[in-house]
Structure 1
């Protein structure tokens, strides 16, 4: 497992690992990176302090996990609230009288699936 699975970019992980290997030495040998920008990002993620000293790995991983858990929790909340849309859509469809095709086809077709008694729920008032 690498730190990208916990939310760091590959560049952020590269700089963090460099800082762990070489404490007190600025990462100047990392070609193609905007090191000051990456350091600012790592500081915002709280895996390096204001002096660009890396926090201990256990602390960094704990912070990254907590951040991911919070993000995932928010996403799950947003997804679970989508079920309200289903109720609203069914109510809208019912108000428009769109269930008539369902009722008419069910009256003519006997059930062979064992689900013949299923009926859409009446909208909540």
Structure 2
């Protein structure tokens, strides 16, 4: 992944993680593995875990500790109602930006 893609991804990673969690609860490694399967191979686990701490502090996710067959219990994250509101706002913003960028690419809205 190029530097530009990595920098752009940093700005939308929270929305992507919230979108993943809107489908089902997951633990950090599952989220990282899914991102990598989708082609986001440069995402470090530490980046995802730091983001999960932030969204937990902001009340966007609930955390449940679930026993693990290997090692300590896993933290399983699920989206809260506030997290769903944040995700809805993310999609509105994404749609607005995508539409405007597409207009620019097609040569419209030039000063």
Structure label with greater radius of gyration: 1
Larger % of helix: which? 2
What TM-score does the superposition give when structure 2 sets the normalisation length? 0.32
Larger % of strand: which? 2
What TM-score does the superposition give when structure 1 sets the normalisation length? 0.29
